[in-house]
Structure 1
Amino acid sequence: MLSLIAALARNHTIGIDNSLPWHLPEDLKYFRKTTSGHAIIMGRKTYESIGRPLPNRHNIVVSRNPDWRAEGVTVVHSIAAALAAAGTEEEVFLIGGATLYREALPMADRLYLTEIDADFSGDAFFPDVPYAQFKELQRDSHQGDDFAYSFVVYERNQPA
């Protein structure tokens, strides 16, 4: 199962200058808890913004540069190769960035979205979700210091 996990503002912003435009510790805890023990797929820029492999996860980095390497991660050159590298993992999480989200959304089985009830300036955006193709499984809403946010899980509708 391919799952996308992302935090996004109302205007679909997910990042600016290779970092998050907000400070939301609860989202980082949610991300850690949700992805721990699973394979995670990320683009090279996302990996470089994190700066290290994330612990307790099989880190798979997609890079178009055939010479790019990093210690402690599996480097591949496509989402298909990343999924193959994840092997028999029951659930694989794609954690960014914007280009990979765009490529993977049509094949995603599940979305774990932290929906932030605010607009932020940014230069990286989550693609428009075809919500008619998904059903909401779970919503956990919170009021933060600066804005409200919800942890929402969507699952792709099965063909009839």
Structure 2
Amino acid sequence: MTPIMSKSEAAALVVAARIRLGLTWSRIAEEIGAPAVWATAALLGQHPMAREQAEAACRLLELDETVAESLRLQPSRGSDPALMADPTIYRFAEALSVYGPALKELIHEEFGDGIMSAINFRVDVARRPDPDGDRVVVTFDGKFLDYKW
């Protein structure tokens, strides 16, 4: 019996197939019936996919069952610390470093003592035209979880 392919190996095959076939992440997400950000994260190994989703993605990407099997596995979430040096990812960390304390204060002021869930959560990315250069709009939409004693 052969071992199950790792999620990182499956992700590398997904990325290669997507590029070689000229597919967008949004097109793949549409095929599996999921939001683009969630689908991209799942295909990169951060979420387990339902059997139907994994099979649909692999059909579109011309990948075999060994990849679909890996896509269905429960992940170890997080990223390689070296990935934090990527300029796009680092800018998110920088923005949270600068604005995180203010966001925390504003959440507590508006909702009370609690946190925004990253489990009951949606995220979206959009482009907004601007005369000074297009803007990236990232929306975090998480359920408020109050601390209960």
Q: Which has the higher strand share?
A: 1
Q: Which has the higher helix share?
A: 2
Larger radius of gyration: 2
Same fold (TM over 0.5): no
